[in-house]
Amino acid sequence: MRKNIFLLLLMCSVGFHTYAQTQKRTLLWEENFSSQLLNENDWNFELGNGCPNLCGWGNEERQEYTKTNHTIVDGKLIITARKNGDRYTSTRITTAGKKEFQYGRIEARAKLPTGQGIWPAFWMLGSNIKQVGWPKCGEIDILEFIGKAPHQVFTSIHTQESHGETINTMKTLFSTIEEGFHVYAIEWDVNQIAFSVDNQQVYVYKPTSQNENNWPFAQPFYVIVNMAIGGKFGGPEVDDAIFPQQFAIDYIKVYQ
């Protein structure tokens, strides 16, 4: 009898906790791509190849970013990477200066491209990047995927302490990750950043003691969505036969 009562109390406690967590979370912002054009009140286009200040976007990437490598179809943003002659093109958008967030759950539902040399990402940078530079501003890589490493999702943190090296990272195997849409998210608070794929926690970044070099995350960050080609991480080899490739984003949501 006592055991049954204990189990009942435990179930109630868990149920109340889950309900309380759900109740206190509020949808702060969402992008459902419900218009025919990207809303430039919320989004910026980053264009070109990064030159002259950051050629290859700092990673020896091959693509040029344009305003013409994306469409919105049936409520989904479709970024298409193409090769025309010797030129690779793609799209990169950010919410810098328009929609910036500190703490909460940030998630995207997306379908990945495939093939050697492809490198789609859903990530965030600290809003003070122009003042302090990278990596001191901090970087949160909610999703990175590289075609040369199929069935794997990369989730990473960059800080001044890591000096640009990807040491705070996790590579997680999902045998069907290239099939259909999946939800990529972080739960970010004053102590830690927890990463998940389809609500399965895959990595937690939680320094034992925080300082400006390992925790630049007590400030607003902005969202970035892009698909790179080649580079130090996605390449260097690129299989030109794979193009065009599409990175589809169903929605982005921010809860606090």
Please give the full DSSP string across 106-153, using - where no structure is assigned.
EEEEEE---STTEEEEEEEEETTHHHH-TTTT-EEEEEE--TTSTTEE
Q: Exactly one of 31, 61, 107, 144 is catalytic; which is it?
A: 144
Tokens of 29: 């912002």
At CA 23, angle to CA 21 and CA 28, rounded to 5? 100
**Annotated catalytic residue 144:** yes
Q: How far apart are CA 104 and CA 174, in angstroms?
A: 25
Q: Exactly one of 31, 61, 139, 187 is catalytic; which is it?
A: 139
Q: What share of the chain is helix, strand, coil (3-state, %, to 5)?
A: 15, 45, 40
Residue type, 137: C
Give catalytic residue positions. Answer: 139, 144
